[in-house]
Amino acid sequence: MEKPGVEMGRQFKVLVVDDDEVILLLSTTLLQDAGYEVLEASTGEGCLDAVQTHHPDIILLDVMLPDMTGIEVCKQIKNDKNLEDIFVILASGIQISSEHQAEGLDIGADGYIIRPISNKEFLARVQAGERIKRAEDALREKEREQQLLISQLKEALVEIKTLKGYIPICSCCKKIRDDEGYWNQLETYISKHTDAVFSHGLCPECVEQYRVEMKKLSKKQ
């Protein structure tokens, strides 16, 4: 089993956003020791800049920041199609009521941590977020592969030769006239315009007619 924080040989990237230097240092140390690549920011603007530059896998986002709320930062991230896949965990030691948590989850946050929290539970929450993020990424990749396959199939269907529209056919010999004005046997024409392969045989009516002709020929002999 892979070490937490490592995904297919790539370190899982976590951005910690908090204006409390002690919490920022403690969180960073715990995550680095657990195998994560850790980025830091102390303001909402700093968070948004780091997100655009580094596109972290998970953001641990303090709700109370000096320039804007974590709620507003989370909302901006989740409203951006290029960033909405980032797993955002809000954290607060002040806004801890169920109403505050519901507000954060309603605007798109993927989790909410109430402080104070033990180091063990803190890491467990991050690792749970990592597992969810991995599963979501795998699903998105599968969907991309399916869309690519569908696109390729559509392109292939466009290239398939098809017969459509009016086809000039001789009412007597059943030859078909092509676009260049030449008359072709039915088999030749269809072979040129489709990928069909002919398997020759006799229908019941022709078989019966063949038998009648053979009987007539036998009587003459």
Three-class SS of residue 169?
A: strand
* pLDDT on residue 35: 95
Confidence band for 221, pLDDT divided at 50, 70 and 90: low
pLDDT of 152 higher than 80: yes
Mean of all residue pLDDT scores within the chain:
86
pLDDT of 96 higher than 80: yes
Domain that includes residue 12, residue range: 6-148
Are residue 116 and residue 215 in the same domain, yes or no?
Answer: no
Query: Which residue is associated with the tokens 């930062």?
Result: 73
pLDDT of 1 higher than 50: no
Are residue 111 and residue 21 in the same domain, yes or no?
Answer: yes
Are residue 120 and residue 181 in the same domain, yes or no?
Answer: no
User: Using CA atoms in the order 143, 145, 148, 152, what is the torsion angle rounded to 10 degrees?
Assistant: -130
Higher pLDDT, 1 or 130: 130
Are residue 24 and residue 109 in the same domain, yes or no?
Answer: yes
As a whole number, mean pLDDT of residues 60-86 equals 96
Are residue 19 and residue 127 in the same domain, yes or no?
Answer: yes
Structural domain count, the chain = 2
* pLDDT on residue 113: 96
Three-class SS of residue 40?
A: strand
Q: Which pTM does this prediction carry?
A: 0.67
**Is 168 among the domain residues?**
no
Confidence band for 92, pLDDT divided at 50, 70 and 90: very high
Are residue 144 and residue 180 in the same domain, yes or no?
Answer: no
Q: Give the tokens for residue 117.
A: 């929290």
Higher pLDDT, 22 or 206: 22
Q: Return the closest-CA partner of residue 146 out of 59, 154, 24.
A: 154
* pLDDT on residue 203: 78
pLDDT, tens only, 2-57: 556 665 557 899 999 999 999 999 999 999 999 999 999 999 999 999 999 999 99
Are residue 125 and residue 180 in the same domain, yes or no?
Answer: no
